[in-house]
A and B are shown apart, each in its own frame.
Chain A
Amino acid sequence: MKQSERSQERLAQSLQMLAEVEAGNETPARVETVVMARWDAMQKRRVPSRTKRVVRVATAMAAGITIFGALAWHNLTVRLKPDTTATVRLKPDTTATVRLKPDTTYTTVAVVGGPLMADEPIRVVRMRVARSVLGELGIPSPAQRGAAPAATVDIDVLVGEDGVARGVRVPINEL
Chain B
Amino acid sequence: MQDAASSPDIDLMRRTAAGDRDAFASLYRMHHATVYRFARLMTGSTTTAEDIVQEVFLALMRDASRYDPARASLTTYLYGSARHHTRRRLLRDRFLVRLEDQADLCLPAASATAAEDLIRQRDVQHVRRAIVRLPARYREVIVLCDLQDVSYADAAQALGCAIGTVRSRLHRARHLLADKLLRGLACVDMARRPTVRCEV
Residues of A whose CB lies within 8 Å of any CB of B are 4, 7-8, 10-11, 14-15, 17-28, 31-32, 34-36, 38-40, 42-43, 46
Inter-chain CA distance A39–B178, complex, in Å, is: 43
Query: Which chain B positions have C-beta within 8 A of A32?
Result: 28-29, 32
Contact (A7, B182) CB under 8 Å given A15-B147, A27-B36, A28-B50: yes
CB-nearest residue of chain A to B37: A22
The prevalent SS among residues of A at the interface is: helix
Q: Smallest distance from the beta carbon of A66 to chain B beta carbons, Å?
A: 32
Provide the bound-state CA to CA distance between A34 and B110, in Å: 32
CB–CB B21/A26 < 8 A: no
User: In the complex the two chains form, is A18's CB within 8 Å of B124's CB?
Assistant: yes
Of the residues A7, A17, A22, A35, contact of B120 by C-beta under 8 Å: A17
Bound-complex Cα distance A8 to B128 (A)? 16
Contact across chains for A21 and B124 when beta carbons are under 8 A apart: yes
Least CB separation from B108: chain A residue: A24
Q: Is the CB of A35 within 8 A of B40?
A: no
Contact among B21, B36, B57, B174 for A43, CB-based, below 8 A: B21
CA distance A29 to B149 in the complex (A): 25
Chain B interface residues (CB < 8 Å from chain A): 19, 21, 24-25, 28-29, 32-33, 35-37, 40-41, 49-50, 53-54, 57-58, 61-62, 107-108, 110, 120, 123-124, 126-128, 131, 142, 146-149, 174, 177-179, 181-182
- Residues on the B chain within 8 Å of A25, using CB: 33, 36-37, 40
Residue of A18, A21, A23, A27 with highest tally of chain B CB at under 10 A: A27
Find the B residue at minimum CB distance from A26.
B33
| Besides A19-B148, A28-B50, 6 new A-B residue pairs in contact (Cβ under 8 A), listed by A number | A7-B182, A31-B54, A34-B54, A35-B54, A39-B61, A46-B19
A residues near B54, Cβ cutoff 8 Å: 31, 34-35, 38
Is A14 within 8 A of B37, CB to CB?
Answer: no
Q: Which residues of B contact A36 (CB under 8 A)?
A: 21, 24-25, 28
Q: Compute how far the CA of A11 lies from the CA of B146 in the bound complex, rounded to whole angstroms.
A: 11
Smallest beta-carbon distance A22→chain B, Å: 5
Per CB-CB distance, the 4 closest pairs between chain A and chain B, nearest first, are A27-B36, A7-B178, A14-B127, A11-B178
**A residues less than 8 Å from B131 (CB atoms):** 18
Closest B residue by C-beta to A9: B178
Chain A residues near B58 (CB-CB < 8 A):
35, 38
Closest partner residue, chain A, to B120 (CB atom): A17
A22 to B33 alpha-carbon distance, docked (Å): 10
CB-CB under 8 A from B37, the residues of chain A are 22-23, 25
Q: Measured between C-beta atoms, what is the minimum distance from A46 to chain B in Å?
A: 7
Residue of B nearest to A3 (CB): B182
* B32 touches which of A18, A20, A31 (Cβ 8 Å): A31
Chain B residues in 8 Å Cβ range of A18:
124, 127-128, 131, 147
- CB-based nearest A residue for B126: A14
List chain A residues, Cβ under 8 A from B179. 7
User: Given A11-B177, A35-B28, do A27 and B127 touch, yes or no (CB 8 Å)?
Assistant: no
21 sampled A-B residue pairs with Cβ under 8 A: A11-B177, A11-B178, A14-B124, A17-B127, A18-B128, A18-B131, A19-B147, A19-B148, A20-B110, A21-B108, A22-B41, A25-B33, A25-B37, A26-B33, A27-B35, A28-B50, A31-B53, A35-B53, A35-B58, A36-B21, A42-B61
